Amino acid sequence: MKIIISPAKSLDFENKATTDLYTNSDFIEHSKKLSKKLKTLSRKKLSELMKISDDLANLNYERNQSWEAPFNLENAKQAVYSFTGEVYRGIDVYSLAEDKIPALQDKLRILSGLYGLLKPLDLIQPYRLEMGTKLKVGRTENLYKFWGDTLANSLNEELADDELFVNLASTEYFKAVPKKTLKVPMVVPVFKDFKNGQYKTIMTFAKKARGLMVRYLIENDIENIEGIKGFNIDGYGFSEEMSTDNELVFTR
């Protein structure tokens, strides 16, 4: 099984990871090209490009100027311990049993505008670069074109012919992995809450549920669709009538 998720804008580089194990990104040369471009952007340009406040533009200008490879545990941190958004609150990697970290490293992949495709223990430095950003790099006019088929090709190299691929990433990020280029079928868990008389996807809840699903799959060594359907955490349960072969809907 391979599981894919999005990164988070919120980061924690203050607290140390619970492991000293780390790996290096397969796409660091791509990241260097993007970093070189980002270093040329003024605070004002960053604010306009990313539609962020002056304070955030200042923060990310400083991050861009400080970004420097190679990475080590002194100047960088493992990705899954660095992101702190709702998905990562659901995973709660700091409380994950140590003997489950190898499975997490093997099965989980994190899409990133700057780093491409990260393994959980890949080192990163602080950044902000959403996949939908229209950053022109060389002859490419945005990040989707910059990455092209690179990320899908990398996933295909990792995926066995009959391996299960679980997409828990956002639409914005998964657009960087053209579905038609993947060599295996994809399963998409969807989370809906009952509100005002109908089931709706409430994004904050859905993001945390994606993280809870990641943790459930890792902790229980799930390898098949029936196992995924058994997810029953935080009040969610599988809805047979709302689901299709490729979209598994969980409601509460």
Distance CA 137, CA 29 (A): 14
b or e along 153-185 (b: 16 or more beta carbons within 10 Å of the residue's beta carbon)?
ebbeeebeeeebbbbbbbeebbbbbeeeebeee
Mean pLDDT value across residues 125-130:
98
Give the confidence band of 179 by pLDDT, cuts at 50, 70, 90.
Answer: confident
Amino acid identity at 17: A
pTM to 2 decimal places: 0.96
Report domain extents, the chain. Answer: 2-251
36-74 residue pLDDT tens: 999 999 999 999 999 999 999 999 999 999 999 999 999
